């Protein structure tokens, strides 16, 4: 039973962590928390199922198309819901514009795809108990993403520009970094990461339109716990949340497990508003 908690806890935790990283990636260049993070995750599952099961494409091509579509959605979000409201960040209009885009995506999926959960294809047909691919695919995807991002941020020029923008927007612009292009790129990247989360977790979560708000919330929890913009904290927070949730499912079950997660989330947030692993507080005056 412990093995089962660990396997599925780590797996859903990895999905949550990826969504959290998607939040962070968008935040780093725009200072915006976008409600579309969860919807992109949902689309990762739905599009994967659409391309591979319905249209019968090979899995690898399906994956590429899914990530490309999700990246495109990220770019659309940047154009439609982020750029127009950036100049008035303190009015928090981004909460509304990204919520609107998220709802449009979700309802369109409900209308055009299905309101019932649809199957997600087995990719490698490797299913032996807790070594089932549906458990380790998300973990693999999460590990690959984290390593990829580390490489990007440390070893490449574009990545360093990302880091520069994330640390000091004004200074970076003063240095002549193409802030706008980097922001678009980060939204594309965030879309692809979210899509990968949904794709890798497709067999666990199924291709279901209502996964969006769920991932939105459960992907946000690790961000809040780990500290905004802190990817390592987010991964730890995500894995922790996944394990806690699975353990709660085992121990108290059903209704009370979601209440337990919400309660824990609110208590931790109130105790440590900057997250357990810290993010710097903004100067106010």
Q: Which residues 154-183 are close enough to bind another protein by CB under 8 A?
A: none
Q: Which of 204, 225, 236, 241 binds another protein (CB under 8 A)?
A: 204
Which residues are paired to 118 by β-bridges? 207
Pattern 205-224, binding to another protein, x per CB under 8 A?
A: xx-x-xx-xx--x--x---x
Which residues are paired to 207 by β-bridges? 118
Pattern 107-126, binding to another protein, x per CB under 8 A?
A: xx-xxxxxxxxxx--x----
Query: Which residue's CB is nearer to another protein, number 4 or number 156?
Result: 4
By CB under 8 A, the count of residues binding another protein is 74
CA-to-CA distance for 62 and 73, rounded, in angstroms?
A: 16
Binding flag, residue 186, another protein (CB under 8 A)? no
Span 8-37, contacts to another protein by CB under 8 A = 8, 11-12, 33
Query: Which residue's CB is nearer to another protein, number 103 or number 177?
Result: 103
Query: Which residue's CB is nearer to another protein, number 158 or number 266?
Result: 266
Query: Which residue's CB is nearer to another protein, number 169 or number 258?
Result: 258
Q: How far is the CB of 172 from another protein (least distance, A)?
A: 19
Query: Which residue's CB is nearer to another protein, number 137 or number 161?
Result: 137
φ, ψ of residue 118 to 5 degrees: the values are -110, 155
Asked if residues 161 and 182 have their Cβ atoms less than 8 Å apart, the reply is: yes
Q: Which of 81, 139, 189, 196 binds another protein (CB under 8 A)?
A: 81
Span 82-101, contacts to another protein by CB under 8 A = 84-85, 88, 90-93, 95-97, 99-101
Q: Which of 58, 127, 150, 232 binds another protein (CB under 8 A)?
A: 127
């Amino acid at each position: 039973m412990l093995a089962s908690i660990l396997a599925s806890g780590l797996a859903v935790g990895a999905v949550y962590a990826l969504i959290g990283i998607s939040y962070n990636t968008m935040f780093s260049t725009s200072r915006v928390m976008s409600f579309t993070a969860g919807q992109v995750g949902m689309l990762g599952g739905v599009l994967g199922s659409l391309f591979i099961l319905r249209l019968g494409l090979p899995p690898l091509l399906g994956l590429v198309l899914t990530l490309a579509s999700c990246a495109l959605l990220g770019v659309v979000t940047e154009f439609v819901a982020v750029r127009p409201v950036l100049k008035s960040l303190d009015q928090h209009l981004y909460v509304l514009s990204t919520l609107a885009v998220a709802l449009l995506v979700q309802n369109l999926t409900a209308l055009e795809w299905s309101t019932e959960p649809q199957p997600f294809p087995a990719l490698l047909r490797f299913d032996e108990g807790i070594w089932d691919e549906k458990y380790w695919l998300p973990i693999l995807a999460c590990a690959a993403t984290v390593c990829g991002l580390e490489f990007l941020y440390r070893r490449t020029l574009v990545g360093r520009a990302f880091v520069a923008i994330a640390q000091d927007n004004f200074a970076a612009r003063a240095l002549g970094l193409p802030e706008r292009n980097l922001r678009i790129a980060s939204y594309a990247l965030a879309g692809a990461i979210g899509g990968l989360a949904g794709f890798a977790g497709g067999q666990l979560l199924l291709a279901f339109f209502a996964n969006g708000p769920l991932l939105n919330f459960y992907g946000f929890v690790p961000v809040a716990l780990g500290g905004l913009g802190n990817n390592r904290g987010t991964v730890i927070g995500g894995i922790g949340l996944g394990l806690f949730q699975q353990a709660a499912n085992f121990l108290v079950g059903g209704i009370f497990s979601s209440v337990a997660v919400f309660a824990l989330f609110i208590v931790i947030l109130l105790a440590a508003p900057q997250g357990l692993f810290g993010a710097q507080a903004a100067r106010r005056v």
